[in-house]
Copies of this chain bind each other. A is one copy, B any other.
Amino acid sequence: MNEETRENLIDMSVNLGGLKMQNPVAVASGTFGYGREYQDFIDISRIGAVIVKGTTLEERCGNPAPRIYETPAGMLNAIGLENPGIDVFLNVYLPSLIEDRVTVIANIAGNTVDEYALLSRKIDKHPGIAGIELNISCPNVKQGGMQFGTDPDLVKQVVEAVKSETSLPVIPKLSPNVTDIVSIARAARDGGADALSMINTLMGMAVDIDRRKPVLGNIFGGLSGPAIKPVALRMIYQVYKEVDLPILGGGGILNTRDALEFIMAGASAVSIGTGNFVNPVVAEEIALGLEKYVTEQGLTGINELVGAAVL
């Protein structure tokens, strides 16, 4: 069989707990706006899935400036979930994404379990969304956010509540700021999660030594980018071994080799966050790069590589 024929038989699609992606590369929540911001640079219909900015019930205006800061091989952000609220998202931003035939994953954050449920109900009623990522790990908001993601009982509760409101695939996004990621992942599974997204940012900070103050208006922020890649890989590896759910893995991915590390460590699909800022066409480049690798290695699909490095 020559390469060309084989390429046609190659399956780059991914089924992430019922959520179908044409290729394994998603762009991560909060780093790609509502898709339109990068439209001039990349054909967004070529991306496996666009996970839109974290959305809350009501509009939020976000944290005081400065909100971002560069760190060695990474960045801190403390956006504070600025967003126009779920209704505006569904009615104003979503339609154009649907028109562009983008696989859209919503990302929701609530202050209470009930809010997560309510958000999910609204999304469930609205056609055009392929899945719901639960942001239970945002380190940048006072209420809600991270404390949900660090307590197994709360994780289970939130997932259960959401599952009872929607038939869409539900993907909790786990916080890495925990002692035992496996117990959190198990709680999510016990609550009925269809897949897991990991990892969100590590909580960090920077000091402005000239002003003798924290750099960020919010003091603390979420660390993302290549700096956190080793932590992300470790947690995905641990969870892949212990919990039988597909994983959407990310944290510091900048290129195809990085993405392959995640897939071999157990991720069924990958998400690119900070990498979009560095290279706005990175998601498409990685999707193509993965396809090339699968072809060159004589594999039938990307799925064959998932967990390949797990001992």
List chain A positions with a Cβ less than 8 A from chain B.
71-74, 76, 150, 177-180, 202-209, 212-214, 219-221, 223, 225-231, 233-234, 237, 252, 257, 260-262, 264-265, 308-309, 311
Query: Can you pick out 21 interface pairs between chain A and chain B where the beta carbons lie within 8 Å of each other?
Result: A71-B230, A72-B225, A72-B226, A72-B252, A73-B73, A73-B226, A74-B227, A74-B230, A202-B202, A202-B230, A203-B231, A205-B237, A206-B233, A207-B260, A207-B265, A209-B260, A209-B309, A213-B311, A219-B311, A223-B231, A227-B228
A212 and B309 form a contact (CB under 8 A):
yes
Name 10 extra pairs, CB < 8 A, besides A205-B234, A209-B260, A221-B230. Answer: A71-B226, A72-B225, A72-B226, A74-B230, A203-B231, A204-B233, A205-B237, A208-B309, A209-B257, A223-B230
Roughly how many angstroms separate A265 CA and B300 CA in the complex, as a whole number?
52
- Which residues of B are found within 8 Å of A204, using beta-carbon distances? 229-231, 233-234
Contact B207 A309 (CB under 8 A): yes
Chain B residues closer than 8 Å to A73, beta-carbon distance: 72-74, 226-227
Whether B207 pairs with A261 at a CB distance below 8 angstroms is yes
Cα A225 to Cα B202 in complex, Å, equals: 15
Residue of B nearest to A139 (CB): B234
A243 → chain B closest CB, angstroms: 17
B220 near A234: Cβ-Cβ < 8 Å? yes
- A235 CB, nearest partner CB in chain B, Å: 9
Q: In the complex the two chains form, what is the Cα distance from A9 to B12 in whole Å?
A: 69
Residue of B nearest to A260 (CB): B209
